Structure 1
Amino acid sequence: MIKLLVVDDSPLMRRLLGDLFAAEGDFQVAFARNGAEALAALHADPPDVITLDVQMPEMDGLACLDRIMLERPTPVVMASSLTLQGAAEALSALELGAVDVIAKPSGAVSLRMDEFGPPLVEKVRAAAGARLSTARRLGERMRARAARTGLAQTRTAPAPTPRLRGLRAGAGEAGLVIIGCSTGGPPALDAVLSALPAHLPWPVVIAQHMPGSFTGPLARRLDQLSALSVVEVTEPTVLQAGWAYLARGDADLILSLRRDGLTALNAPADPDHRWHPSVERLMESALSVLPARRIVGVLMTGMGNDGAPAMTRLRAQGGQTIAQSEATSVVWGMPGELVRAGGAGRVEDLDRIGEAVMQAVAA
């Protein structure tokens, strides 16, 4: 049985979530009405996993999460609203150590449980078996805490590096780096993008499973941490060297070779693909417009197998692939499937993936 602690100040939400997980048959569910009750339950009967509402009186979800990660680190899935503030709170939760976040539906929640419930169960199951990041050092968490109170010390800015105007994918030997990730992905993207130089000669395209209201703030955050320029793709965009492009949430991103160069386009989420933005669909589109030898595929932490089949084909056709190691993945689902399929050219710890990308591009 999976011991789950549901923390929410709403009696209706506690009842709905209790019924949802009880119906699964393998969850033992306990409840807390606020952060103080959650911390008491954490020590009295430690759960395997916690769902934690962000907005609660007295002690909000972020403050409670901070205490959980200090006192008894436990996998946490945060529930956040689909607002600009909710997106900022979600990213703060991931910085503080939450395994995943889910967007709470607006309006009458009871009428939308068929939509909200299944992905929540999936995320909670994945989180219950998650490996809490050993890289979540106290200094990183203190910066995240300080940022919420307006006292953050910004990271030391890298020395200014001239950014390339970019190489069109149709010219010379220009190519493309594709990164796919899901559960545990935002902190992993922090680590990889911050290790890449502004003069990286190939553009980077990223598919991170995340709601649409969260990907814009995530792109802006990554832009602050990386020497690359990082943007969310909101309209047809010609790819340039020195830039990283984040797929918009709740949709898919595909690539097309146009007269102006290799172009990223938003597309409605394809129901044939389970997760969105789909890594698989992105990689399939890249293989349709570029030779495999001009593509580097990186598959990082996340549940499921999104991207593993297409990246296995990429390697078989002469492309280069990198899988994040099990030891440094929060959930070794996507990269693990790539390794098991024989599609991983290299398996690297998170702190070496940036270097591996540069070596692959140089090769």
Structure 2
Amino acid sequence: MTRLLVVDDSALMRRLLGELFTRAGGFEIAFARDGLDALRQLHAFKPDVVTLDVHMPELDGLSCLDRIMVERPCPVVMVSAMTEEGAQVTLEALSLGAVDFIAKPTGAISLKMDVLGPKLVEKVQGAARARLPRARRLAERLRLRRGEPRQRPAPVRPVPPVAPVDVTDLPPLPGEVEGAVVVGCSTGGPPALDALLAPLPANFPWPILVAQHMPASFTGPLARRLDRLCALRVLEVVQPVPLAPGHVYIAKGEADLILGRRPAGLMALPAPAAAEHRWHPSADRLVTSAMEQVGARRLIGILMTGMGSDGAAAMTALRHAGGRTIAEAEETAVVWGMPGELVHAGGAEFVVPLDGIAARLLALAPAR
């Protein structure tokens, strides 16, 4: 039985979510009406998983999440608005330690629960199996146990929206790129992308293409956040764009990203989500298209944390065809679904903890 704490200031949402998880079975459910109530329940009920609304009185979702991760860490699924501001706040929540998020229904909420309900149940069940890094914020937890005053972090404020890059203004590609890196990730992916991309130099020799399972309204803010954090140039692919070294191409959410060839050379192309793939943006489809256009021997595939098996089949084929593949190790993956499937299929050449993947990639990529 999974102990679930539902935190939401809306009595209607608490009732609907309670009914949803009761019907699903396997849950013992408690409720909290705001962040302060949630912290009381955190110690009294001792939940295995928390669903946490972002906007609440008394103590908002981000501040509550910050306290949970220090006082009694457990998997948290954020319930967030599907807006630019909601995306910014959700990305901040993931960096604070939330393992996943789901859109908060708007309008006729009770009518939309039939559509959103199965996905929310799946995410919460996955979160219950999630692995939280033991060392994360360990110093703060030790100070709390010793009764020392807590050093409160600066308040989190959403980053103002930034105009998307106009890819028509990108400089022309000086020559055909020699190879590419293809990356797949899902649950726990945004912090994993931080760890992968931040150590890479601006002159990294190959373009990097990323399929991160996310809604369409979230991948633009994700790309802009990564662009601020790392030396590489990071773009969301919303129209055809030529591939260039030192660039990262983020697939637009709820669609797919594929490689194509034009007279000017290799291109990153947005594509409607293909029905034969369950998850989107599809890592399997990205890798397959890259093999068709670049060739396996000039590709490096990286599969990181995430539920399901997206990317495992295509990267196994990539490895058997002579490409190089890296799977995130179980001990660091929030959910060892996608990389675990790659390992079990015999498609992982290297199995590497998250903090070592960038170094392994630098060792495999050609020098510039």
TM-score normalized by structure 1? 0.91
Deviation of 1:306 after TM superposition, in Å, equals: 0.4
Q: Take 2:310 and 2:175, find their aligned partners in 1: how far apart are those partners?
A: 28
Contact 1:167–1:202 (CA under 8 A) maintained in structure 2: no
Q: Which among 282, 300, 303 is matched to residue 299 of structure 1?
A: 303
**Which residue matches 2:259?**
255
Mapping of 1:145-184 within 5 angstroms?
145-146=153-154, 148=156, 168-169=175-176, 174-184=178-188
Q: Take 1:128 and 1:146, find their aligned partners in 2: how far apart are those partners?
A: 29
Moved more, 266-275 or 75-84: 266-275
Contact 1:184–1:330 (CA under 8 A) maintained in structure 2: yes
Is 2:284 the partner of 1:280? yes
Is 2:212 the partner of 1:228? no
Deviation of 1:320 after TM superposition, in Å, equals: 0.3
**Which residue matches 1:132?**
132
**Which residue matches 1:158?**
none
Mapping of 1:81-100 within 5 angstroms?
81-100=81-100
Mapping of 1:1-363 within 5 angstroms?
1-134=1-134, 136-137=136-137, 145-146=153-154, 148=156, 168-169=175-176, 174-362=178-366
Deviation of 1:9 after TM superposition, in Å, equals: 0.9
**Percent same amino acid at aligned positions?**
61
Going from structure 1 to structure 2, the CA distance change for 1:15 and 1:269 (only over 3 Å counts) comes to same
Deviation of 1:77 after TM superposition, in Å, equals: 0.2
Deviation of 1:188 after TM superposition, in Å, equals: 0.7
Deviation of 1:358 after TM superposition, in Å, equals: 1.4
**Which residue matches 2:166?**
none
Going from structure 1 to structure 2, the CA distance change for 1:138 and 1:92 (only over 3 Å counts) comes to farther
Moved more, 104-113 or 214-223: 104-113
Deviation of 1:84 after TM superposition, in Å, equals: 1.2
Going from structure 1 to structure 2, the CA distance change for 1:283 and 1:274 (only over 3 Å counts) comes to same
Deviation of 1:216 after TM superposition, in Å, equals: 0.7
**Which residue matches 2:168?**
none
> How large is the RMSD of aligned CA atoms in angstroms?
2.3
Q: Take 1:180 and 1:357, find their aligned partners in 2: how far apart are those partners?
A: 14
1:327 alignment partner, SS class: coil
- Residue type of the partner of 1:83? T
Q: Take 1:116 and 1:177, find their aligned partners in 2: how far apart are those partners?
A: 33
Q: Take 2:276 and 2:76, find their aligned partners in 1: how far apart are those partners?
A: 29
Contact 1:298–1:322 (CA under 8 A) maintained in structure 2: yes
Moved more, 312-321 or 194-203: 194-203
- Residue type of the partner of 1:128? A
2:365 alignment partner, SS class: helix
1:146 alignment partner, SS class: coil
Going from structure 1 to structure 2, the CA distance change for 1:167 and 1:214 (only over 3 Å counts) comes to same
Q: Take 1:252 and 1:109, find their aligned partners in 2: how far apart are those partners?
A: 29
Question: Could you list the per-position Cα deviations for residues 203-234 of structure 1 after superposition, in whole angstroms to 9, with x for gaps in the alignment?
Answer: 00011111111111111111111110011111
Contact 2:306–2:339 (CA under 8 A) maintained in structure 1: yes
> How many pairs does the alignment contain?
349
- Residue type of the partner of 1:61? G
Q: Take 2:266 and 2:348, find their aligned partners in 1: how far apart are those partners?
A: 25
Contact 2:306–2:337 (CA under 8 A) maintained in structure 1: yes
Moved more, 261-270 or 70-79: 261-270
Contact 1:165–1:241 (CA under 8 A) maintained in structure 2: no
**Which residue matches 2:147?**
none
Q: Take 1:278 and 1:228, find their aligned partners in 2: how far apart are those partners?
A: 23
Query: Which ranges of structure 1 fall in alignment gaps of 5 or more residues?
Result: 152-163
Runs of 4+ in 1 over 6 A off after TM superposition: 138-144
1:23 alignment partner, SS class: helix
Deviation of 1:140 after TM superposition, in Å, equals: 11
- Residue type of the partner of 2:266? L
Deviation of 1:37 after TM superposition, in Å, equals: 1.2
- Residue type of the partner of 2:94? L
2:184 alignment partner, SS class: strand
Query: Which ranges of structure 2 fall in alignment gaps of 5 or more residues?
Result: 142-149, 160-170
Deviation of 1:269 after TM superposition, in Å, equals: 1.5
Q: Take 2:346 and 2:19, find their aligned partners in 1: how far apart are those partners?
A: 41
Deviation of 1:166 after TM superposition, in Å, equals: 5.4
**Which residue matches 1:157?**
none
**Which residue matches 2:146?**
none
TM-score normalized by structure 2? 0.90
1:285 alignment partner, SS class: helix
